[in-house]
């Protein structure tokens, strides 16, 4: 079973309602392990649909501040279409708009990216959780 229709729908809606962003993946370090040299980062233009908080989510945000809970963090959340030319990583940074300037949005180091791909081959969309 393929998910072409679901991928096309997610891409169309995120393109329509999402914000222009730049996803930056850090470059692969070169040199010796004792003296690594930072690699050249790669940028990709993406659309991310940022989700707004509701009162129910605000309660979850408050409860997530309690240590050792499994609730999602109170930071920004968003959806990104799965038909992109790269695989996003937890070390990626996101700039809202087409200019990469600090402060960039950082992906949560744990459970920051969830992939919706029912057949594990065709990604439909990514659910992103950002720190802060």
pLDDT band at 76 (very low <50, low <70, confident <90, very high): confident
Task: Count the neighbouring beta carbons within 10 Å of the beta carbon of residue 32.
Answer: 8
**Euclidean distance between CA atoms 108 and 51, whole angstroms:** 16
pTM as predicted? 0.75
- Residue 105 in any domain: the answer is yes
pLDDT tens, residue by residue, 90-102:
888 888 886 665 5
Per the model's pLDDT, the better-predicted residue between 111 and 129 turns out to be 129
Q: In this model, does residue 42 exceed pLDDT 70?
A: yes
Contact between residue 75 and residue 58 where contact means Cβ atoms under 8 Å apart: no
User: 31 in a domain, yes or no?
Assistant: no
What is the distance between the alpha carbons of residues 11 and 31, in angstroms, rounded to a whole number? 39
Q: Quote the domain boundaries for residue 94.
A: 4-26+39-129
- Tell me the C-alpha distance between 121 and 4, whole Å: 12
Structure tokens at 22: 């730049």
Task: State the total domains in the chain.
Answer: 1
- State residue 46's pLDDT score: 92
């Amino acid at each position: 079973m393929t998910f072409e229709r679901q991928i096309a729908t997610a891409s169309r809606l995120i393109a329509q309602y999402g914000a222009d962003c730049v996803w930056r993946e850090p470059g692969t370090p070169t040199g010796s392990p004792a003296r690594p040299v930072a690699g050249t980062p790669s940028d990709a233009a993406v659309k991310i649909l940022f989700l707004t908080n509701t009162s129910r989510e605000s309660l979850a945000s408050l409860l997530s501040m309690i240590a050792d809970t499994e609730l999602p963090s109170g930071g920004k959340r968003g959806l990104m279409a799965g038909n992109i030319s790269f695989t996003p990583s937890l070390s990626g940074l996101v700039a809202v708009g087409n200019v990469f300037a600090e402060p960039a949005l950082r992906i949560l180091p744990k459970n920051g990216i969830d992939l919706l791909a029912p057949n594990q081959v065709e990604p439909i969309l990514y659910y992103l959780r950002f720190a802060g």
